[in-house]
Amino acid sequence: MTMPLRGNRDFRLLWLSGLFAVLGGQMSALALPLLVLKETGSAVQAGVVGTVSVGAVLITMLPGGVMADRVERRRLMRVCDVGSLTVVTVLAAAVWSGHAPMPLVLLVAGAGAVISSVYGPAVFGLMRAVVPAGQMGTATARLQARTQTARLVGPLVGGALFGIHPALPFAAQALGLLLSTVCVALVRTRSRARKTAGAVFSKGELMAGLTFLWRIPYLRTVLLVFGLGMNFAFGALTFTALTAFSEGGRSGIGGGFVITCVSAGALIGALLAPRISPDRHSRVLIVATCWTCVAAAGVMAWISVPLVAGVMCALCMCLSTIASIGFLSKLLIVTPEDRVGRVQSAAGFLSSMVQPFGPLAGGALLTAFGARWAFGLTGCVLAVSALFVTFAPSARAEPSPHDAGEPAGPPEPVAEPARGPGSGHVPEAGHTPAGANRAAPGG
């Protein structure tokens, strides 16, 4: 008889670990650009922090997956957490002393992104050993609910702490990382490290995850259409709504309401997901999400009311979150244990590579054609994606572990007594089909 998740000690520890780490990360994500703005007075330099983070993630995502498959995952998580705790502590001390040079801030932003690229695939691989296949959908939903809650609360707390003293958000993040480290230290489950001859970062190793995804038609189609296409188009849609309902920057109330609704929809979706077994209905949920996004674009094109736009965006994000949890669960189940890190990294890479361009496209359409046409043209792109995932034969046949060449269910976990201090950030189910730390149609 399978033990309920609430009785799964190691899963509870991973859940708590991620709560502490993600909450701290959300506080510092707001505080870093504010710190640069306070120190330099330059919005451009403040924006550079985000650019460095995104660039570092994209560059190191595939190598991070290779590392997660080559090194025992719990041990790798511990090393990553020590690195995160070190750089955040150094920054907190620098801010507290009254001077945080720009190179140090960029180093912290880049190092955090690189560490996350290694840590994320490792924790997904460990979760594969901790959680039985039949409970993967519920587990990922609970992780996502935790992450969305932290995303709502973290920036508010971080902003309040920054107002008291700029060093406090980073000190709070360091404390969260320390608590996260202790939680992972107490996890007993181990995953087997993959022993393979040859160069660690050879072309074959780096491309193994992408190759696996490409040869399974369902995974390939969903990631390219739902991950790439929908992420791009919905990013453009939400940015257009943010700009249009902010009255050209004269008021942030309308646009802020829309973005709040997006976050609330993601949280509601994560809370609802365990009740409907999203891993068993992932294709239906993906199709429903796509067509709901098309409807949302059409409604916003004709009804220029922030309340209506917020409700439609919340509905899209709710469905998107549930669909992404289902896809992530299925991806974890069908992926051979020795490739979980590389496959997860590859899926995240595909889903996030166009994400920065969505807002750019939305802004260009809004400037060139106005709000109504911007919403309408974005809706056309969404409709093409929806038609594809609805009728393409490759999107109809969901894979099974047999298709991936591995028996169903996770491998036998390797248990040993916990030893030494451990580490911190647990996987977010992200909103994208990748399940990486990205937002999906919309985030």
Quick: pLDDT tens for 201-246: 677 788 888 888 888 888 888 888 887 888 888 888 888 887 777 6
Q: What is the 3-state secondary structure (H, E, C) of the chain?
A: CCCCHHHCHHHHHHHHHHHHHHHHHHHHHHHHHHHHHHHHCCHHHHHHHHHHHHHHHHHHHHHHHHHHHHCCHHHHHHHHHHHHHHHHHHHHHHHHHCCCCHHHHHHHHHHHHHHHHHHHHHHHHHHHHHCCHHHHHHHHHHHHHHHHHHHHHHHHHHHHHHHHCCCHHHHHHHHHHHHHHHHHHCCCEECCCCCCCCCCCCHHHHHHHHHHHHCCHHHHHHHHHHHHHHHHHHHHHHHHHHHHCCHHHCCCHHHHHHHHHHHHHHHHHHHHHHHHCHHHCHHHHHHHHHHHHHHHHHHHHHCCCHHHHHHHHHHHHHHHHHHHHHHHHHHHHHCCHHHHHHHHHHHHHHHHCCCCHHHHHHHHHHHHHCHHHHHHHHHHHHHHHHHHHHHCHHHCCCCCCCCCCCCCCCCCCEECCCCCCCCCCCCCCCCCCCCCCCCCCCC
What tens digit of pLDDT does each residue of 169-197 get?
A: 999 999 999 998 899 889 888 876 666 65
Quick one: average pLDDT of 7-21? 88
Q: What is the share, in percent, of the chain residues with pLDDT greater than 90?
A: 11
pLDDT score of 301 more than 60? yes
More confident residue, 353 or 440: 353
**What's the mean pLDDT in 391-404?**
72
pLDDT at position 194 is 62
Domain 5-191+202-415 adopts which CATH fold?
A: Growth Hormone; Chain: A; (1.20.1250)
